[in-house]
């Protein structure tokens, strides 16, 4: 999950965020992906396996409507270690800031 910020530090709606896991396309979200959150908010949920923490590598980037990269692909990794939370969920927060 994360937020896309515009040049003036405000959340930016209407941005296409793409996610891959192990090189396979997971999907796209248009900000805000949850109408109850800020304009620039996006979230991808990676379902757990058998109720235990999941080790996974994800990449997230901003793309245009044709799927062309507008930002670098940013990689993050979760681990199979419980983070002290009874449900074992881990959160990766990746924000994007518009530079020009």
Instruction: Express each pLDDT in 1-33 by its tens digit.
Output: 999 999 999 999 999 999 999 889 999 999 999
- Any idea which residue has 């997230």 for tokens? 60
List the one residue out of 34, 50, 52, 41 whose CA is nearest residue 89.
Answer: 52
- For residue 78, the tally of other CB atoms under 10 A from its CB is 17
pTM: predicted TM-score of the whole model, two decimal places:
0.85
Instruction: Express each pLDDT in 40-95 by its tens digit.
Output: 999 998 766 666 667 889 999 999 999 999 999 999 988 777 666 665 567 789 99
Report whether 5 contacts 33 (CB < 8 A): no
* pLDDT score at 83: 65
Instruction: Express each pLDDT in 84-96 by its tens digit.
Output: 666 556 778 999 9
Task: Look at the alpha carbons of 31, 34, 40, 43 in this order and tell me if their dihedral is positive or negative.
Answer: negative
């Amino acid at each position: 999950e994360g937020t896309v910020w515009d040049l003036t530090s405000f959340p930016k709606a209407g941005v296409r965020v793409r996610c891959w896991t192990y090189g396979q396309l997971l999907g796209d979200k248009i900000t805000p992906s949850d109408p109850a959150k800020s304009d620039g908010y996006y979230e991808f949920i990676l379902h757990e396996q058998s109720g235990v923490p999941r080790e996974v590598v994800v990449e997230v980037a901003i793309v245009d409507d044709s799927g062309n990269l507008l930002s670098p692909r940013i990689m993050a990794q979760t681990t199979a270690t419980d983070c002290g939370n009874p449900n074992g969920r881990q959160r990766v927060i990746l924000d994007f800031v518009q530079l020009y």
